[in-house]
């Protein structure tokens, strides 16, 4: 098994922090700036990519309605209001990264990261739902849907 690079670890931590911020904002509607400040302060020693975390947080939140519409289209059997907040936060971040972020991260890495994070923070079956929806998002991106 290949050891993860420092950048991969920093980005994984950034995705986890983005998940926590978006989750808390969705669940209890605390001010995003306050949540970000708290998590960035608490996690400062974990070596996360702060700029990447901010890009994911603001990107996913600024496009929330558009992303939620895409999720609804890709998973009609799972209404948004019946999804867990954790699964929804992971999906919002990953769909932002897949469809709107122009970085150099490959689609397979985005999906793999979302699935792995869902195995830690989601329910037993979260990873299946997330993998399926994100696989469909790739088809949407390539014009196959």
**145 residues of the chain, pLDDT tens digit each:** 556 788 888 999 999 999 999 999 999 989 999 999 999 999 888 889 999 999 999 999 999 999 999 999 999 888 999 999 999 999 999 999 999 987 788 999 999 999 999 999 999 999 999 999 999 898 777 666 5
Residues 32, 61 contacting (CB under 8 angstroms): yes
Q: How far apart are CA 54 and CA 74, in angstroms?
A: 26
Residue with tokens 């960035």: 40
pLDDT of residue 49: 92
pLDDT of residue 3: 67
Beta-carbon contacts of residue 80 (< 8 Å; ≥ 6 apart): 68, 71, 72, 88
The listed CATH number (1.10.940.10, 1.10.540.10, 3.40.605.10, 3.40.1120.10) that belongs to domain 6-141: 1.10.940.10
HSE of 126 in the Cβ direction (CA atoms, 13 Å)? Answer: 21
pLDDT of residue 85: 95
Kindly report the pTM of this predicted structure: 0.92
> Which token pair is 50?
């702060």
Residues 80, 107 contacting (CB under 8 angstroms): no
User: Can you give the residue ranges of every domain in the chain?
Assistant: 6-141
pLDDT of residue 143: 65
pLDDT of residue 142: 66
pLDDT of residue 144: 61
pLDDT of residue 5: 84
């Amino acid at each position: 098994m290949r050891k993860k690079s420092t950048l991969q670890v920093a980005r994984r931590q950034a995705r986890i922090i983005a998940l926590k911020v978006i989750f808390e904002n969705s669940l209890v509607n605390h001010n995003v700036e306050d949540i970000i400040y708290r998590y960035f302060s608490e996690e400062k020693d974990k070596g996360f990519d702060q700029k990447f975390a901010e890009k994911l947080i603001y990107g996913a939140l600024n496009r929330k309605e558009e992303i939620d519409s895409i999720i609804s289209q890709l998973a009609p059997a799972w209404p948004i209001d019946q999804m867990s907040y954790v699964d929804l936060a992971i999906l919002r971040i990953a769909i932002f990264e897949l469809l709107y972020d122009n970085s150099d991260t490959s689609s397979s890495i985005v999906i793999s990261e979302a699935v792995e994070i869902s195995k830690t923070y989601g329910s037993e079956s979260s990873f299946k739902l997330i993998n399926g929806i994100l696989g469909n998002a790739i088809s949407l991106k390539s014009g196959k849907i």
